[in-house]
Structure 1
Amino acid sequence: MAEDAAVVEEGFSPAAQSPLVAVTFQRNVYRKEKYLEAEPKALGITQIGLSMFKMISCAVFLAKGLSVVSSDITFFISSLLVVVAGSVAIAAETLHLPTLRACFGMQIVACGASIVNIVCTLVKMEQMPIYCWEYYYHNTTPNYEEICHQIEKIHSHFFAGGVLVQTALLAISVTLAVYCCKVVNCCAPAPKVPVITVQAPPAPQ
């Protein structure tokens, strides 16, 4: 009787110690598939598309002499990092663990790059075009002042839209980074799920 009591005290329950029922804790083999819930392909393509749009827009401004090269170099580099992060996010759909870890790292970098781009876009928005007003007093075109005001409004609206785009890219990077973190378990050990195994009783002889 004493030995039977010891068995009950050490186990979780009498049923857990029964030879017909076994309770074990195992890692979830489908844990990596949680990354697919973030729709990484769609978000990765969005990252690439929006970043390429901003890079092309910036290149057009540079080609027309409407921007400063020194301030655009940082913007180009940051946008390129976001493009790379989007590509890695798409590649991580294979659920290969090293690729998922690379995706997590690149999304963290993309978060920083998006913040840098937000700051750069805000700075550009404050730099109103002065080329129009340089010729204001030497131009006899009717309504020339109104034209300059319209150019300023377009400039302000364009870069305000750029801030929204960079904010969306930041949100996408944070979302993918969170899902990658859950999969690669960089912040906490992998959770274990209880597995109950029920064995059929032996057939009577």
Structure 2
Amino acid sequence: MADEAAMAEDGIGPAQTPLVEVSFQKNIHRNQKYLEAEPKALGVTQIGLSVFQIICVAVFLAKGLSHIGIDIPFFISSILVLIAGSVAVAAQNLHLPTLRACLGMQIVASGASLYNVVCSLIKMEDTPTYCWHYYYDNSTLRTGEICHSIENIRSHFYAESVLIHAALLAISVTLAAYCCKVVNCCAPAPRMTVITVQAPAVQQ
């Protein structure tokens, strides 16, 4: 009411509009925020590291250096991270349902990577049972040395595996954070300030 009174005093008619108008609108380009995370590079990294881990563990199983009962959850977790990487790459089309699927898969991948870190730490400290009798048997010294070399390689592999899965955990958390910004699951959609400047009408 006060603004209308001021306009009437200044002689501005009701049909006229102010020269500067400030409004708050939804940012229609907020989906582009996801691309700032470099999802293609991070997704391909997730896929590549997961495939590497799956192949290495499969080789260990084939050579009898691991137990299938322990490694099945490890395989499943690595496959989940691989799927999450594929969805992250697919979400580059900025389709909202795909971005939501990416968010869900990255949260799952974070849990899977954390599980694999713990699993790798446990395996790194685990001594294979087939090496125990070589500690006290001097008649098979050469075989014992080979066994202990394999044990050291196995320990180093799982130490490397801890670092790989820690990196995969960081990637999953990063992608989940960017997806969260785009799909607005944690906060309302951000609004941007729009200032409209209108040219004054030319008086005849």
Q: 1 CA distance for matches of 2:119 and 2:3? A: 73
Q: How many residues align?
A: 196
Query: Do the aligned partners of residues 61 and 204 (structure 1) sit closer, same or farther apart at CA in structure 2, a change above 3 Å counting?
Result: same
> One-letter code of the match for 2:87?
V
Q: When the two structures are superposed, what TM-score results if normalisation uses the length of structure 1?
A: 0.87
Structure 1 residue aligned with 2:161: 162
Query: Which SS does the other structure have where 1:196 is aligned?
Result: strand
* CA offsets 1:111-143 (integer angstroms, 9 cap, x no match): 000011111111211222232443566674665
Q: Which moved more, 1:171-180 or 1:116-125?
A: 116-125
> One-letter code of the match for 1:119?
V
> One-letter code of the match for 2:78?
S
Per the TM alignment, residue 3 of structure 1 is displaced from its structure 2 partner at its CA by 4.5
* CA offsets 1:86-108 (integer angstroms, 9 cap, x no match): 00000000011111111000000
Per the TM alignment, residue 18 of structure 1 is displaced from its structure 2 partner at its CA by 6.0
Contact 1:114 1:166 in 2 (8 A): yes
Q: 2 CA distance for matches of 1:120 and 1:26? A: 48
Query: Do the aligned partners of residues 170 and 138 (structure 1) sit closer, same or farther apart at CA in structure 2, a change above 3 Å counting?
Result: same
Q: When the two structures are superposed, what TM-score results if normalisation uses the length of structure 2?
A: 0.87
For 1:102-141, list aligned pairs within 5 A. 102-134=101-133, 140=139
For 1:153-192, list aligned pairs within 5 A. 153-192=152-191
Contact 2:113 2:165 in 1 (8 A): yes
Residue 198 in structure 1 maps to residue 192 in structure 2: no
Contiguous gaps of at least 5 residues in structure 2: 8-15
Per the TM alignment, residue 29 of structure 1 is displaced from its structure 2 partner at its CA by 1.4
Per the TM alignment, residue 150 of structure 1 is displaced from its structure 2 partner at its CA by 2.8
Contact 2:110 2:173 in 1 (8 A): yes
For 1:30-179, list aligned pairs within 5 A. 30-134=29-133, 140=139, 143-179=142-178
Contact 2:134 2:141 in 1 (8 A): no
For 1:20-31, list aligned pairs within 5 A. 20-31=19-30
Q: Which moved more, 1:64-73 or 1:135-144?
A: 135-144
Contiguous gaps of at least 5 residues in structure 1: 9-16
* CA offsets 1:2-53 (integer angstroms, 9 cap, x no match): 9558669xxxxxxxx9611111100111111010010000000000000110
* CA offsets 1:142-182 (integer angstroms, 9 cap, x no match): 65554444333222111100000000000000000000001
Q: 1 CA distance for matches of 2:151 and 2:40? A: 38
Q: 1 CA distance for matches of 2:103 and 2:64? A: 38
Contact 1:21 1:199 in 2 (8 A): yes
Query: Do the aligned partners of residues 69 and 6 (structure 1) sit closer, same or farther apart at CA in structure 2, a change above 3 Å counting?
Result: farther
Query: Which SS does the other structure have where 1:25 is aligned?
Result: strand
Identity, % of aligned positions: 68
Q: 2 CA distance for matches of 1:89 and 1:4? A: 51
Query: Do the aligned partners of residues 187 and 203 (structure 1) sit closer, same or farther apart at CA in structure 2, a change above 3 Å counting?
Result: same
